Structure 1
Amino acid sequence: MTSKLEILLLAAIFVGLPDTFEGSATIDAVIYPRSHADSVGAKVTLEPFQKITTSSARRSHSFSINKQRFLAVVSFDTQCDVYRFKASKFVLAQQVKVSNANAAKFFEIDGQYFLAIAKFVDGTQYATNSPVLKWNNATQKFENFQKFKSIGGFDFEHFSVKSSKNEILHFLALANAYDGIKYSVNSTVYLWNASQKQFEHFQDLATEGAHHFAPIIWQGNMYLAVANYVSKSVVYKLKADDSEFELYQSLPGTDYGSWASVPVYMNGSLYLIDVIYEIDQKYKQKSPLFVWKNNTFVVSTTIPSEGTTMMCPFTVNKGLYLVLSNYFDGNTYNIMSSVDQVQDSKTVTHMLDIATHGSYSCHTFEMNGTVMVMFSNSYDDKTTKLDSIIYKVAAAEN
């Protein structure tokens, strides 16, 4: 995501904040420009913007419909809440009663708007249904559209590609993680049928505790990276005739423990981060940063992480930064998340620690030219009923 603000995005968790905020909290920090690593950058202010009521928060997703901003926030314990931005804050617009879900993903097909929700479990049954809802412009609500069988559903990802016949193909990938006994369960890719105006089964993919999909279009090819939790993460490639995805590469490095795959584009090159949560209950890890070289991903460097479940890249002032969402360190959920700067393909510099409470995921987005950040707080060693907070970033006045 490219910001118009020449600042570093910073975030922190503040205690006892009102529903909306007046004034700001300030954190002094420095930015190290790429060409002048020893120079001091501009100070920034972090302005608490709004807190969102959540209960074991999972992943959030910001999107726009008819030039109006929305935010879908998944609480595992309760439902998916859809907020609409009105005047100066996000206002609850709809509660989608889907509990025990992990993620919500918004997407658009031919002027139609959809929200897919990945459901992990129903009571004790991991074989359940994950819904896709369709926006009704008349009611201004999302309504039931299709349901897909999921087995420990963890993530939905939509992506589109131009076919060999010069048609636009819309895919929807559902990551399945666990069936109650084992992690070796297939994930599924669906394809949009334009004439029937619905998704149809396209292909099952062999996955091992799939936690996240990352679609990548690079040099005219369509790839799909899969973060496998109990095996090596892998990359699939769509065949030239669009008939199926075939296994392209098993990522070198760690054999398991991946929670997310995050593509990053820097200086005309493609990178991929394999976000490692833990290995053998050891939470201090080094998540590999791969670079695309000679038609394959090779390790370029590693990023120190501790119980990290997501990394959210963004750029400001032509610099590349990563927000690291840290969930658990083996002892407590009240741990620091962080902001790092990617200096180049070999150098990732730690910049700032951020107090979070079982941060299940981070989400950065831009609204009216302003960078926003949200951490999904899920647990503080006592309760899952915590506020997840949105922050607004602004340049400090001289």
Structure 2
Amino acid sequence: MSVLLTLWALLLLGAPGRGARPWEPCTDLRPLDILAEAVSTHSATDAVRTLQAQGVRGLQLASNAPHALSFPASRIFSRCDFFPEEFSIVITLKVPSLLPKKNEYLMTVLSEEQDTLLLGLRYSPTQLHFLFVSEDSAGTWQTRISFRSAALTDSQWHTLVLAVSAGSFSLASDCGPPLDIAADVPFPAALSVRGARFFVGSRKRTKGLFTGLLRQLVLLPGSDASSRVCPCRDAKLAVLSIPPILQGLAGTPEDNEVLRPPYETHMKVTLGSRPPCTKAEDAQFWFDAGRKGLFLCVGRQWVSVLAARERLDYVEEHQSLPTNAETLGVEVFAIPGAGLFVATANRKATSAIYKWTDGKFSSYQDIPTHQAQSWRYFTIGKQTFLAVANFEPNEKGQEFSVIYKWSRTKLRFRPYQRVATHSARDWEAFQMAGEHFLAVANHREGDNHNIDSVIYKWNPRTRLFEANQSIATSGAYDWEFFTVGPYSFLAVANAFNGTSTRLHSHLYVWLLGAFRLFQSFLTFGAADWEVFRIGERVFLAVANSHSYTAETQMQSDSYVINSVIYELNVTAQTFVTFQEIPTCSALDWEFFSVGEDYFLVVANSFDGHTFLVNSIIYRWQGYEGFVAAHSLPTFGCRDWETFSTAAGSYLVYSSAKEPLSRVLRLRTR
């Protein structure tokens, strides 16, 4: 049995190994606003004007600059050179009547070097044509998929969804039933867009220039967008992504015609400094393409009309941070007047603190530890503390975890209090009714995993933490404190009872001066609890790491297991299962937000065969729950932390398999 326990511990703790491959993200499965990208270019300033038709704003292209609304494909395909094999294109447009045999382009992707069309959308009076280049051993040719759409040129607004998947093509109009075409020639699996350029409303020339109004043009990789935009209250104006230049600008319809002066809105579009707001610009709009904000000139001042909504675009590696050894946990914190820091809990004899300097973390202080598992930062009044959970005994065979205090004169952390612990995994610091507490997760004592974990209370008289309550735990891995209204809760992640990881973790509520059992959850090697709120809703996520019993032994598929998100049912006064997410020996959850979007990132550590597995960022999608949005190659990932600076938002993760942590930057748009 002790051999099995050792093997299981090694899988969670890791040993030195080879580094992860560099991550090269492509587009991810997010809407790519082609129209907004095109309008954001320098040359778009005089190429469009905003007109109102039927109470809705749209963009009209100038006839003298067909190449102006364009941008290089590398702007949205920044990490790869291939157009997605499966995708949707969503278009909202108002098309005037066309002469017979006349065609106009909605969008094209052209190879700039050869001036050949790689992909395009054009329409005639009765059809919408999807064009793409095909290639095989016989040569290269252009394929055309044509959909009959008699109502397209009826001078009304329409929203079209073109969905492409292998050899299947479908077109849905105004959330109606799709028209499906099974073509002999499938869309290419690897259509290179290296050196290509997107053109909106043209094929780079005046002939075939789009003469209608365009409100929405969005590319959604990897998915049929119909489910994202339908059903909709106004199907003809179904929305996936509307550029800021058009948002919130609906007006009063005037006989179903494009409004004439003085109702036309002339739009200044710039990427650089703000233009002057003079008498000549009074009542005119200015779109700041750099910040994607809309302003109105009123009384010689630019007044914000529409603030840009910050959205997560993609994640990129910002810094590879060499650490003293494999890292089991990271803690990011800011000390007023001193700066931003990260503490790494390292497996070997020294852990470290790094300080954020010139946009990167640099070495600041080394602290002797004994296979440190995690750090916890907290304050009491004006005092600043940092507690480390030590897993192994010191040189004298004594098991102590240590609380360090920040010296405002030395600008360093100094030992403050030693606390006897047993293979400590985690500290949790919290306050209740003005009093300060620390809870330690004791994992095992010798081979006995069924031991007490302890809650300590700060004594203002002795200025020390003193034992306040003991709670029976089984291989405790993590504590999580949170409040709901007037009630305080403390959740423990029980990971192993000596024979099985299939056991109950518990949630306690503070009543009558002590924590008392509130609810139990069946978990599988629970390694972490994460509490978070979305609006008035309260969620609790558990990271399940491994399904093991003495009977089943260790099986490779026992690491690919669902982790669970629970939601508080206020009426029933209990947490109920909200969503189960497949994970690979999950060891940590981290919740964060970007703008109005909410995310969960999981630390996937092992899939039964390799430690080189992807950790996943999930985006909150309302009734759909959390949906995978970004895949991040990680190597024995153990812990995630998020932080923000004036320069932006970041994620940092620790690796239990190599002496290297990584800082990732969240790129927004």
Shorter-chain TM range is 0.7 to 0.9
Determine the structure 2 residue equivalent to 1:49: 318
Residue 361 (str. 1) matches residue 632 (str. 2): no
Show CA shifts across 1:161-183 (max 9, x none). 22xxxxx0111010011122121
Determine the structure 2 residue equivalent to 1:388: 661
Q: Partner amino acid for 1:262?
A: E
Determine the structure 2 residue equivalent to 1:175: 441
Determine the structure 2 residue equivalent to 1:150: 421
Residue 263 (str. 1) matches residue 531 (str. 2): yes
Show CA shifts across 1:173-199 (max 9, x none). 100111221211111100111222221
Q: Partner amino acid for 1:393?
A: L
Structure 1 residue 300, shift from structure 2 partner: 1.7
On the 8 A contact 2:332/2:340 being kept in 1, the answer is yes
Q: Partner amino acid for 1:97?
A: P
C-alpha distance in 1 between matches for 2:507 and 2:315:
37
Task: Summarize the alignment of residues 128-139 of structure 1 with structure 2, pairs less than 5 Å apart.
Answer: 128-139=399-410
Q: Call closer, same or farther: CA 1:288–1:47 in 2, change over 3 Å.
A: closer
On the 8 A contact 1:126/1:150 being kept in 2, the answer is no
Q: Call closer, same or farther: CA 1:27–1:143 in 2, change over 3 Å.
A: farther
On the 8 A contact 1:126/1:152 being kept in 2, the answer is no
TM-score when normalising by structure 1: 0.85
| 3-state DSSP of counterpart to 2:612 | coil
Determine the structure 1 residue equivalent to 2:563: 287
Name structure 1 gaps, 5 residues minimum.
1-12, 18-24, 163-167
Determine the structure 1 residue equivalent to 2:622: 344
Q: Call closer, same or farther: CA 1:32–1:109 in 2, change over 3 Å.
A: farther
Pick the structure with greater CA Rg: 2
On the 8 A contact 2:539/2:567 being kept in 1, the answer is yes
Determine the structure 1 residue equivalent to 2:506: 234
C-alpha distance in 2 between matches for 1:126 and 1:248:
37
C-alpha distance in 1 between matches for 2:484 and 2:647:
28
Structure 2 counterpart of 1:249, from 519, 524, 527 = 519
On the 8 A contact 2:314/2:630 being kept in 1, the answer is no
**Structure with greater proportional helix content:** 2
Show CA shifts across 1:299-324 (max 9, x none). 12212211110111111232221111
Determine the structure 2 residue equivalent to 1:191: 457
C-alpha distance in 2 between matches for 1:345 and 1:98:
45
C-alpha distance in 1 between matches for 2:647 and 2:562:
33
Structure 1 residue 109, shift from structure 2 partner: 0.6
Q: Call closer, same or farther: CA 1:341–1:127 in 2, change over 3 Å.
A: farther
Task: Summarize the alignment of residues 1-398 of structure 1 with structure 2, pairs less than 5 Å apart.
Answer: 27-31=26-30, 37-38=228-229, 39=240, 44-54=313-323, 55-67=325-337, 68-122=339-393, 128-162=399-433, 168-230=434-496, 231-239=503-511, 241=512, 243-251=513-521, 254-280=522-548, 281=554, 282-293=558-569, 294-344=572-622, 347-368=625-646, 370-379=648-657, 384=658, 386-395=659-668
Q: Partner amino acid for 1:273?
A: A
On the 8 A contact 1:59/1:104 being kept in 2, the answer is yes
On the 8 A contact 1:209/1:228 being kept in 2, the answer is yes
| 3-state DSSP of counterpart to 1:186 | strand
On the 8 A contact 1:338/1:352 being kept in 2, the answer is yes
Structure 1 residue 89, shift from structure 2 partner: 2.0
Structure 1 residue 368, shift from structure 2 partner: 2.2
Q: Call closer, same or farther: CA 1:292–1:45 in 2, change over 3 Å.
A: closer
On the 8 A contact 1:188/1:205 being kept in 2, the answer is yes
Structure 1 residue 47, shift from structure 2 partner: 4.0
C-alpha distance in 2 between matches for 1:139 and 1:124:
27
Structure 1 residue 143, shift from structure 2 partner: 0.4
Q: Call closer, same or farther: CA 1:147–1:305 in 2, change over 3 Å.
A: same
Q: Call closer, same or farther: CA 1:127–1:179 in 2, change over 3 Å.
A: farther
C-alpha distance in 2 between matches for 1:126 and 1:336:
38
Structure 1 residue 123, shift from structure 2 partner: 6.9
Structure 1 residue 126, shift from structure 2 partner: 8.7
C-alpha distance in 2 between matches for 1:87 and 1:367:
11
C-alpha distance in 2 between matches for 1:345 and 1:207:
35
Q: Call closer, same or farther: CA 1:271–1:285 in 2, change over 3 Å.
A: same
Show CA shifts across 1:260-299 (max 9, x none). 1111211211110111011024011111211111221111
Q: Call closer, same or farther: CA 1:66–1:299 in 2, change over 3 Å.
A: same
C-alpha distance in 2 between matches for 1:203 and 1:275:
26
Show CA shifts across 1:227-275 (max 9, x none). 1113211011111x4x211111112xx3431111111211211110111
| 3-state DSSP of counterpart to 2:421 | strand
* Matched residue count: 362
Q: Call closer, same or farther: CA 1:40–1:76 in 2, change over 3 Å.
A: farther
Structure 1 residue 357, shift from structure 2 partner: 0.8
C-alpha distance in 2 between matches for 1:259 and 1:102:
12
Identity level (%): 23
Q: Partner amino acid for 1:51?
A: S
Q: Call closer, same or farther: CA 1:257–1:210 in 2, change over 3 Å.
A: same
Which structure exhibits the higher relative contact order, with contacts defined as CA atoms closer than 8 Å and separated by 6 or more residues? 1
TM-score when normalising by structure 2: 0.51
CA RMSD, Structure 1 to Structure 2 (Å): 2.5
Q: Call closer, same or farther: CA 1:371–1:112 in 2, change over 3 Å.
A: same
C-alpha distance in 2 between matches for 1:124 and 1:226:
30
Q: Is 117-126 or 315-324 further displaced after alignment?
A: 117-126
